[in-house]
Amino acid sequence: MDLGLKDQVIIVTGGSKGIGEGVCRCLAQEQAIPVIVGRSPDEGGLLVEQFKSQGINASYIFAELADLKDCEAAVKQTAAEYGRINGLVNNAGANDSVGLEKGSPEAFQQSMQSNLYHYYYMAQLCLPWLKKFKGSIVNISSKTALTGQGGTSAYAAAKGAQLALTREWAVELLKYQIRVNAVVPAEVMTPLYQKWLSGFSNPDQKLASITKNIPLGNRMTTKEEMASAVAYLLSNQASHITGQFLFVDGGYVHLDRALAGTEL
């Protein structure tokens, strides 16, 4: 499907790996210009090389997003290179297990810095450009914002705040015709997820215990499935959709009670 994203410059934070990489690949297929902003230069550089070898324009910009100066430099560089920013995908983050019982105020603050604040920094820095081009923002949140997980207070708080900001910005930016939406994943196989699984004594068994609870197909969501939802929300095909939370999770968050007591 042609989403009409050709030549649109879209910043994707954490676009070198996982869901962000999937989003960049999908945008490249749509002939948009993905700008990867993140701290994985090897993977990011390789992805951009691949796109360029296929005749698709793209950029990688190094940034530790917890650092406001890096965010400022990344947006400045994108604007200088392309003269426009049409979309922002706030995606970078990591479930870092800073809990209530096992955690500390310092670790909580650090995690918020790494998971939440750059969603605000990047949106504010991109705003003049999004206003100019009636751009769009997609925030990647997590099911933990709604379901909790246990042992990950800061991450859950950051993910919940991202949903609140989605609604808040959707209202504030109505006057500029800037749409703001969130995509909410539950279980997507990515490098981050693999790393988390490898911490269990039997990762295969752990994975099987998770997928059996995913109603649609008892399988993980793919990063391509995540990416097409993000690309759709960025595009004009979603021109009257704003302030929405789109759950791309095989029914994980909403179908549990309907299925209680039935065989999956």
| 66 near ligand NAP (CB under 6 A) | yes
Q: Where are the beta strands (DSSP E) in 9-154?
A: 9-13, 33-38, 59-62, 87-90, 136-140
Helix orientation angle between 41-53 and 18-29, rounded to the nearest 10 degrees: 10
Among 8, 136, 142, 166, binds ligand NAP (CB under 6 A): 142
* Positions 236 through 255 that interact with ligand NAP (CB under 6 A): none
Structure tokens at 161: 């705040």
Nearest Cα neighbor of 238 from 134, 141, 168 is: 134
Rank residues 31 and 113 by Cβ distance to ligand NAP and give the closer one.
Answer: 113
* Positions 85 through 104 that interact with ligand NAP (CB under 6 A): 91-95
Report the distance separating Cα 178 and Cα 168, nearest Å.
12
| 19 near ligand NAP (CB under 6 A) | yes
- Is 155 among the catalytic positions? yes
Q: How many residues does the chain have?
A: 264
| 193 near ligand NAP (CB under 6 A) | yes
Q: How far is the CB of 7 from ligand NAP (least distance, A)?
A: 25
Q: How far is the CB of 12 from ligand NAP (least distance, A)?
A: 9
Window contacting ligand NAP (CB under 6 A); options: 71-79, 172-180, 191-199, 202-210: 191-199
Rank residues 114 and 136 by Cβ distance to ligand NAP and give the closer one.
Answer: 114
CB-CB contact of 250 with 186 (8 Å): yes
Residue with tokens 């392309």: 82
| 157 near ligand NAP (CB under 6 A) | no
Catalytic residue among 121, 155, 193, 252: 155
Q: How far is the CB of 105 from ligand NAP (least distance, A)?
A: 19
Q: In 3-state terms, the chain is what percent helix, strand and coil (to 5)?
A: 50, 15, 35
Q: What angle do CA 121, 182, 156 make, to 5 degrees?
A: 75
Nearest Cα neighbor of 189 from 155, 215, 221 is: 221
Catalogue the active-site residues.
Answer: 155
* Residue ranges that bind ligand NAP, judged by CB under 6 A: 14, 16-20, 38-40, 63-66, 91-95, 114, 140, 142, 185, 187-188, 190-193
